[in-house]
Structure formats: structure tokens, C-alpha cells
Amino acid sequence: MSISPIFSSKMFHRFICHFRQALPTRTLSSTAPETSPVEPNKNVIIEPRQLKFLPKYKEPCQVWVENLDTIDENKLGIIELHPDIFAVNPRIDIIQQNAKWQKLYRYVSYAHTKSRFEVRGGGKKPWPQKGLGRARHGSIRSPLFKGGGVIHGPKSPNPHFYMLPYYVRVNGLTSMLSIKLAQDDLHVVNDIEIPSDEPQYIKELIKSRNWGPSVLIIDEVDMMPRNITAATDEIQHVNLMPVYGLNVYSMLKHDTLVLTRAAVDLIEDKLLTALHRNSTFSYTKKFVLNQV
Amino acid sequence: MSTMSLLAKTSKVLLETCYKNISTKYTPLRFHGFFNSPFLEDVQIKARYEVTKSPEDWKYVERILPPLTVPELPQREVFISDFKPQGENHKHKPYYIARTRNHMIPVYLKIKQRGVKKLSYIRKIQGDIWLLQKELEKFLQPMSKAPLRMQVNEFAGTIIMNGDYVNAIKHWLKENDY
């Protein structure tokens, strides 16, 4: 029996489970036929996890825990993920709101035009009011004139900052994580220790595992191991990110999301706390600028 | 002047300004905000107090602190208010309405246009939402002369109804153990 370093050996013996050949499908009305127990594969371990706030009629979803220290994929076990975080309704409308907000809150428009009073000149009446047979005009910088001012034109700087409601941000994250898992683009690894600091190692690993060209690797802390930082430094489409930086836009942008085992715990804990928060006043109140 | 001495001088000036700012007492400022508000100072407590480190006492402190997340429902036969916890055995029913994190039924009234327009919202619907709509219509239609107008959003799991039927819907859902 292969024992991975992330699980304690005592738990192993206690929780050797029958390996079901396919991950069970989740339906409200369980009409799936009972499969006869296949012979147990003793290498596959369902790691016990204490899932808080488990909903009544949803089962936890299972994912493989993989390794990164070899190029070929090595399955170390199965962990169960919380259905309220990783198997919610994929609300693409909420995801769109999040992506739009992330683009806009830091965008400042520098488009600028001058009004008729800001354009230089134009103080004098161009020609007398009467007697010339021409149209009456008071200024050559009037918006009717070529080279005149612009009516209601853009003024610079125009910040587009706004705040998205707290629960739209939280639900955006859960929807996005669920979509990544449902589309088989979410992978859990035990840690991000790799044996070499060569970019070629990461490139080959991604190719052999059929991960999308762009990969986002999430770890619990922002001080990552040296080898993986050196290896991914040169590759622009493989990025490292701590859990506190996890966001909808980056998850949308990268094809594959790779979470470490510790990151899964932290993400789940933070999002569940957000979803079951006792006092939401300070989170859902109106956003104030210049707050200390 | 050498760079080292310049650095030393500037750092001294910086330190002095910092200390000056720290020592200023808080006074209400006109148009004050983040940048001109004073630095945070340690509060000087003059009252005499004792510091103890006993887990026994800490138990009582924890009892006072508000919980971070909503606690689980206490197991009671009857609640004093007309609150009714959700019943069991919804697994094989065609649709399911989850409770909110505060254990309440997710049915709300939204008043728009200065009280002219009243909308009833039902959220968190899973499963066959169209069957729920039909059953609700059967129950609510006798209350209204005009045909009921319902907007079913299957994707988001919500039903929006024209008119104030919140109490009726909550009653119906409680009857059906949701």
C-alpha cells in the first residue's frame, strides 16, 4: 500500500474504502441502479474530512489528490469537497458581474474633451448679427463650428470604481469553483514541491497531464517553495497565487486551477464562514471611501 | 555632503515628525479623513485591574462573545414563537426549498414604486420548479380575482409573484414541512 505523506497512517487503516469505479453521480431522486461491489482497490483512500454546515440533501463531491513531484500523474487519494462551495448552481450571471467589476474598479478613463468655454479663443462675435445674410453666431468655438467645443464630452480623470455587494462576491467565487470542478479543470495536489527549478519540467508536467495551456496554482501561503517559483517565473501562462488572492477573473482567465491540499481547507473554511456569518451588517452595509 | 549623512539627517527629520504626530492628542478636525487623522495611540488605562490566565474564567468570556457563524438550531419539541423548523424526508420529493442560514423560510416581500407594486419572492428552490409553481397557483388563485402573474427563474431557482402573498406562501410551505 502506498502511503502519501499528507495523511496520517492511523487514519489510513481506519478509512480504507472500497473504490467505486466512477465518481457517483448526484441526483435529488436517487434512481441510479445499485452497482455490485467491485473488488476493493486498496491503494485508493478516501480521506476523512470534517465538513461543516453540510446541507441536508447534497452529497460531498470527490476529487483526486495528485502529486507534483513527478511528471506523470500519481493519484494519492480522494478527498471530499463541500457541496456548498464546489457544487453549487453555476450562476454565470453572477460570474459576469464579478468579472465586470474586477475590470472596472481599477479602470480610470482618461478621455478628455474641451467645452466651448475651455477651447482657446472665441470671445469675439465672428460677424455682425444683421446685414450680412449669414447665420447668426456669437463665437467661433460654439459646438456648431469646426474646431469648436464638445457638448457633454468625456472629462478626465473618470474613475469607474464601485463596490459589488458582499454576497455577490462570495457567490461569484463559489460559482466559479463549482464550474471549474464540473468541467474537470480543478485539480488538488498534496503540495507544490517539485524536484527541479527548470521551466521545462513544469511545461512537460502540464502537457502530460492534459492541463490547459494556462494554469493557476493556488497555495495557502504567499511564500512558495523556491523550485516552483523559479520554474514558473519565466512561463507567463503558469501563475502562482496565495489563497487571499483567489478571484473570479483569474480563475476565468486560466484554463486549469490547481489547489493545494492546504488551500482547499482554507478556501472552504473562509467561504463557509462567509456564507454562514452571524452578523453581516459590517459586510453588507454601504461601502464608504476613506475609511480608517 | 555625503549620502550617508544626508540619509541620517532625513531619517532624523522623519523620526521627529513621526514622534510629533504620535504625541498629538486627538482633536476633531474639519474635513478630516484618512490622511490627516492622527496616529493610533495606546490607550492609557488608569483603573487598577488584575490579569488572570485561567481557562475556567475564559469559559464565561466565551459565553458572552457573539458567535462568528450562525449556531445550529436547538432541539426543541415546540418553539415559543410560531417558528417551525424544517421537516425531514424531503429526499424523494420532486422539489426542495432550503432554509436560509438563519433557519428561516426564504420568502420575501419587495415593495416598489412607493408602495404601489408589491412582489413576493421565493428563493433557494431546487428540483422541479414548474411543479412548485403549479401547486402554488392552485393554492393562491382563490385569493385573487385576477389571474396570478408568476415569473419562474429556473436557472436562479427563484419564483417572483405579483402581489403580496408572503404569509400565505409561508403558511403553505410550513404545512408541507419545508
For the residues of A92-128, what is the DSSP string, one character each? Answer: HHHHHHHHHHHHHTT-EE------TTTSS---S-SS-
**For residue range A98-109, what is the model confidence (pLDDT) as tens digits?**
999 999 999 999
Give me the pLDDT at residue A239, please. Answer: 97
Q: Which of residues 25-44 of A touch B (CB under 8 A)?
A: 28-30
How far is it between the farthest Cα atoms of chain A?
Answer: 106
Chain B residues in contact with A30 by the CB 8 A cut-off are: 91
A166 to chain B, closest Cα gap in Å: 15
φ/ψ region of A113 (left if φ > 0, alpha if ψ in -120 to 50, else beta) reads beta
Same-domain status, B171 and B111: yes
In a domain? residue B157: yes
CB contact under 8 A, B156 and A291: no
Using an 8 Å Cβ cutoff, are B174 and B84 in contact?
A: yes
Tell me: do B100 and B158 sit in the same domain.
Answer: yes
Q: Is B36 helix (H, G, I), strand (E, B) or coil?
A: coil
Average pLDDT of chain B is 86
A282 and chain B in contact, CB less than 8 A: no
Cα angle B90-B96-B100, degrees, rounded to a multiple of 5: 110
Residue B106: the pLDDT is: 97
Identify the H or E element spanning B112.
strand B107-112
Q: What is the mean predicted confidence (pLDDT) over A23-40?
A: 42
For residue B33, what pLDDT is reported? 73
What does the pLDDT look like over A55-87, one tens digit per residue? 989 999 999 999 999 999 999 999 999 999 999
Is pLDDT of B81 > 80? yes
- Name the DSSP letter for residue A79: E
Would residue B83 count as lying in a domain?
no
Selected residue of B39, B101, B102, B124 to mutate for chain A interface (largest A Cβ count, 10 A): B101
Same domain, B60 and B108: no
First to last CA, chain A: 56
Quick one: DSSP state of residue A170?
H
**Domain boundary pick from B64, B83, B112:** B64
A278 vs B67: CB contact, 8 Å cut-off?
A: yes
Type and span of the H or E element at B97: strand B95-97
In chain A, which residue's Cα lies nearest the Cα of B35? A290
User: Looking at chain A, which residues constitute the CATH 3.40.1370.10 domain(s)?
Assistant: 9-25+32-96+162-278
Instruction: Tell me whether residue B38 is in a domain.
Output: yes
* Orientation of helix B129-140 relative to helix B166-175, angle to 10°: 110
Q: For chain B, how many structural domains are there in total?
A: 2
Structure-block grid coordinates of residue A208 = 502530460
Cell numbers of A70, please?
513527478
Q: Which residue has the higher pLDDT, B32 or B155?
A: B155
Q: Tens digits of per-residue pLDDT, B159-169?
A: 999 999 999 99
Inter-chain touch B90–A56, beta carbons under 8 Å: yes
Q: Is B117 left (phi over 0), alpha (psi -120 to 50) or beta?
A: beta
Q: What is the mean pLDDT of residues B2-12?
A: 56
Residues B106 and B155 in one domain: yes
* Residue A288 near chain B (CB below 8 Å): no
pLDDT-derived band at B35, boundaries 50, 70, 90? confident
DSSP A237: T
Q: Look over chain A and give the mean of its residue pLDDT values, rounded to a whole number.
A: 87
Mean pLDDT lowest for which of A15-19, A163-167, B128-132? A15-19
Cell numbers for A72: 506523470
B2 pLDDT tier (thresholds 50, 70, 90): low
Considering the domain architecture, whether residues B99 and B48 belong to the same structural domain is answered as: no
Q: How far apart are CA A214 and CA A249, in angstroms?
A: 13
**Together in a domain, B104 and B55:** no
Q: How much is the pLDDT for B21?
A: 53
pLDDT at A35: 45
What would the pLDDT profile of A273-284 be if each residue is shown by its tens digit? 999 999 999 999
pLDDT class for A44, splitting at 50, 70, 90?
Answer: low
User: Helix or strand or coil: residue A271?
Assistant: helix
Q: Is residue B110 part of a domain?
A: yes
Q: What percent of chain A has pLDDT over 70?
A: 84
What's the average model confidence in pLDDT over A3-28?
Answer: 38
Residue B142 Cα, gap to closest chain A Cα (Å): 32
Residue B135 pLDDT greater than 50, yes or no: yes
C-alpha of A141 from chain center: 50
- A290 touching B (Cβ < 8 Å): yes
Residue B80 lies in a domain: no
- At B23 the pLDDT is 47
| Confidence grade of residue B12 (pLDDT, cut at 50, 70, 90) | low
C-alpha cell at B163: 402581489
Judged by a CB distance cut-off of 8 A, whether residue A55 touches chain B is: yes
Model confidence at A47, pLDDT cuts 50, 70, 90, reads confident
* CA dist., res. A136 & res. A291, Å (int): 54
Could you give the count of Cα atoms lying within 13 Å of A85 in the half-sphere of its Cβ? 22
Q: Which CATH number fits domain A9-25+32-96+162-278: 3.40.1360.10, 3.90.1150.10, 3.40.1370.10, 3.30.70.2970?
A: 3.40.1370.10
Which residues of B fall below an 8 Å CB-CB distance to A? Answer: 33-34, 37, 66-71, 90-92, 94, 96, 98, 101, 126-127, 155-157
Report yes or no on B59 lying in a domain: yes
CATH number at residue B144: 3.30.780.10
What's CA B13's distance to the chain center, in Å? 48
Which strand (E) or helix (H) includes residue A257?
A: strand A256-260
What is the DSSP secondary structure assignment for residue A288, as one 8-state letter? -
CA atoms within 13 A on the CB side of A183: 16
The reply to whether B75 falls in a domain is no
Chain B residue numbers with beta carbons less than 8 Å from the beta carbon of A31 are none
Q: Check pLDDT > 60 for residue B118.
A: yes
Q: Verify that B53 and B103 share a domain, yes or no.
A: no
Task: Give the pLDDT score at A42.
Answer: 56
CA distance A136 to chain B (A): 47
Neighboring chain A residues of B132 at a CB cutoff of 8 Å:
none
> Which one, of A43, A50, A1, lies nearest residue A18 by Cα?
A43
- Full domain range(s) for residue B38: 3-64
Least confident of A134-143, B22-31, B79-88: B22-31
Is residue B82 one of the residues assigned to a domain?
Answer: no
- Find the range with the poorest average confidence among A55-69, B35-49, B116-130: B35-49
Residue of higher predicted confidence among B1 and B78: B78
